[in-house]
Amino acid sequence: MHSFLSRLNTLFAFTISVLAALTLGVFISTYFEQYHGTVSISANKPIVKHMTDFSANRKKNDLGVLQLDMDMNLNPLFDWNVKQLFLYLTAEYVTPSNSLNQVVLWDKIIQRGENAQLNMRDVATKYYFWDDGDHLRSNNVTLTLAWNIISNAGRLLHVRADGSSSFIFPDEYVTSRGKNSGRE
């Protein structure tokens, strides 16, 4: 009746029950955390080029080019339930055809134990800033940083940083050689 396999099964079931209770405790202990942080973002040297988008339908679209300055200390976001942060910077703007356009310009993964205090100057965007037309000139763009919190146990949180930045693209195109080409 109390064979070796029966006792091993009981021990295994008890161990799984204890681990499930501990995992639930980890989840509950960090459920009410807000994980907010403040960031300082600014855009430098924004220009607009009117170029052919070869990856799409080969028609001319606006390409925004800019450099970023970002200051943030995300070390306080890491507690014993946070495994990593997935940061991403979005540009939001309005065009006549769309009430809201969102473009991801930069992203980064920060794992637990890495330095989460970032002071970046004149960083180029990681991804192209294409518009699906010619609506970037003289357009107001808002830069916002957000992150997903990847936890050890519990939910996947999406948090927008406190602090955003706005800038306006110039009203003239720049050619690939860096000279103003006026309106096309």
Averaged pLDDT of the chain: 90
The topology under which CATH files domain 35-182 is: Immunoglobulin-like (2.60.40)
- CB contact burial 41-51 (16+ within 10 A = b; e otherwise): bebeebbbbbe
- pLDDT tens across 24-71, in order? 888 888 888 888 889 999 999 999 998 887 776 778 889 999 999 999
Domains of the chain by residue range: 1-32, 35-182
pTM, full prediction: 0.83
- pLDDT tens across 108-148, in order? 999 999 999 999 999 999 999 999 888 999 999 999 999 99
110 sits in the region (left: phi over 0; alpha: psi -120 to 50; else beta) called beta
- Mean pLDDT, rounded, for 68-97: 94
pLDDT greater at residue 26 or residue 107 = 107
Q: In the 8-state DSSP scheme, what is residue 125?
A: P
